[in-house]
């Protein structure tokens, strides 16, 4: 007999699957690709019942409001569940990196660029950076923030901020996943971390670098340890052959290692693996899967909107979507 805790997940899963019916299907993305401009896209989204209550917002705020609504809906179904707070840690990290960079680049406005999706209010993050008091952040991010600022001040390279804080962000997510007791969240995080690391490895090879550089770019939480990426010193073919033997192997089977091609193939593999997670009835899998799909949907909409602004053909844009 299912426990009360398990029953809560069963009820929430049923409600989440109902929410999934509101996700944009392939045919709707095809219609959006044929829209003449941003105004046409917004009109279609309204027809689809998308973003109710946010119709008057500027487009980026409109998209963020839609994603925030999805997180709020799921959190309301499973109040107090730490998984869905932990899934938003990357948005805290995004605002933290932004606040540090905007402090040094006055041509950018933090209030205008900060995302409302962070767990911590954006203004609190800006104040933390100004006061150099990072105690409001999870442990690893709090420790890494001063190091990121110091590395940037020494090198002038904003990528140092990204490398240091992204690794800390994944470490905090891993700690939260382990503490949550959710097997589905641990697996979700592992898939995300592996995907990030495999793409970083491909980018590093394209730059003519090797395993030493990977040590700086590596994020924790995945199934592929840092030692796996020592193969980068043996070149692109050796890396592709090693990666082809992993759970992500089909992305490498053709030997095509261009970043854009590999990114699309890894996305396809990642979503196949996530589908298995979201089928769980007695855990957080369905809710995690729904939020992951919603984030993918928002990314696709951003791709289409940027492509329209750049005058890109629908055919070329379609190749960059993950539907």
Distinct helix (H) and strand (E) counts, the chain:
16, 0
d(CA 315, CA 302): 16
Which residues neighbour 15 within 8 Å (Cβ) at sequence distance 6 or greater?
Answer: 77
pTM above 0.85, yes or no: yes
| CB atoms inside a 10 Å sphere around CB 62 | 17
Query: Using an 8 Å Cβ cutoff, are 211 and 200 in contact?
Result: no
**φ and ψ of 61, to 5 deg:** -65, -35
DSSP notation for 195-230: HHHHHHHHHHHHTT--HHHHHHH--SSSSS-GGGGG
What is the predicted pLDDT for the residue at 6? 53
Confidence (pLDDT) at 1: 40
- Local structure of residue 232 (DSSP, 8 states): G
Give the list of residues 6+ apart from residue 77 with CB closer than 8 angstroms, or none: 11, 12, 15, 16, 287
- Give the pLDDT score at 175: 96
CATH of the domain spanning 182-282: 1.20.1690
| Domain residue extents for the chain | 1-81+284-323, 88-174, 182-282
299 contacts: CB under 8 Å, gap ≥ 6: 322
Q: Are 180 and 82 contacting, i.e. CB atoms less than 8 angstroms apart? A: yes
Q: Domain 1-81+284-323's class?
A: mainly alpha
Per-residue pLDDT of the chain (323 residues; tens, 9 = 90+): 444 555 566 677 788 888 888 999 999 999 999 999 999 999 999 999 888 888 889 999 999 999 999 999 999 988 888 999 999 999 999 999 999 999 988 888 999 999 999 999 999 999 999 999 999 999 999 999 999 999 999 999 999 999 999 999 999 999 999 999 889 999 999 999 999 999 999 999 999 999 999 999 999 999 999 999 999 999 999 999 999 999 999 998 877 777 777 888 888 888 888 887 877 655 688 899 999 999 999 999 999 999 999 999 999 999 888 87
CB-based contacts of 236, cutoff 8 Å, min separation 6: 205, 257
Instruction: Judge residue 132's burial from the number of C-beta atoms within 10 Å of its C-beta, 0-12 exposed, 13-18 middle, 19 or more buried.
Output: exposed
């Amino acid at each position: 007999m299912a426990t009360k805790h398990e029953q809560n997940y069963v009820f929430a899963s049923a409600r989440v699957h109902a929410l999934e019916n509101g996700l944009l299907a392939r045919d709707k993305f095809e219609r959006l690709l044929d829209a003449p401009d941003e105004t046409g896209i917004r009109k279609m989204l309204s027809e689809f019942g998308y973003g109710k209550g946010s119709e008057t917002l500027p487009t980026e705020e409109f998209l963020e409001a839609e994603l925030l609504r999805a997180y709020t809906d799921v959190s309301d179904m499973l109040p107090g569940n730490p998984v869905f707070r932990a899934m938003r840690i990357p948005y805290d990290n995004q605002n933290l990196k932004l606040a540090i960079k905007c402090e040094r680049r006055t041509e950018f406005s933090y209030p205008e660029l900060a995302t409302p999706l962070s767990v911590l209010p954006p203004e609190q993050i800006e104040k933390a950076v100004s006061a150099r008091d990072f105690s409001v952040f999870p442990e690893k991010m709090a420790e890494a923030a001063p190091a990121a600022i110091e590395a940037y001040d020494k090198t002038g390279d904003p990528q140092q901020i990204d490398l240091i804080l992204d690794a800390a962000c994944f470490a905090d997510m891993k700690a939260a996943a382990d503490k949550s007791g959710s097997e589905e969240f641990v697996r979700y995080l592992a898939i995300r971390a592996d995907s990030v690391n495999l793409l970083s490895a491909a980018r590093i090879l394209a730059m003519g670098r090797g395993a030493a550089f990977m040590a700086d770019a590596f994020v924790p939480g995945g199934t592929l340890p840092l030692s796996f990426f020592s193969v980068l010193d043996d070149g692109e073919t050796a890396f592709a052959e090693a990666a082809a033997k992993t759970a992500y192997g089909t992305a490498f089977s053709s030997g095509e290692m261009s970043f854009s091609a590999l990114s699309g193939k890894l996305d396809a593999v990642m979503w196949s693996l996530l589908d298995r997670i979201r089928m769980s009835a007695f855990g957080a899998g369905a809710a995690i899967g729904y939020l992951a799909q919603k984030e993918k949907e928002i990314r696709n909409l951003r791709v289409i909107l940027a492509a329209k602004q750049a005058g890109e053909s629908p055919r070329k844009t379609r190749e960059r979507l993950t539907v």
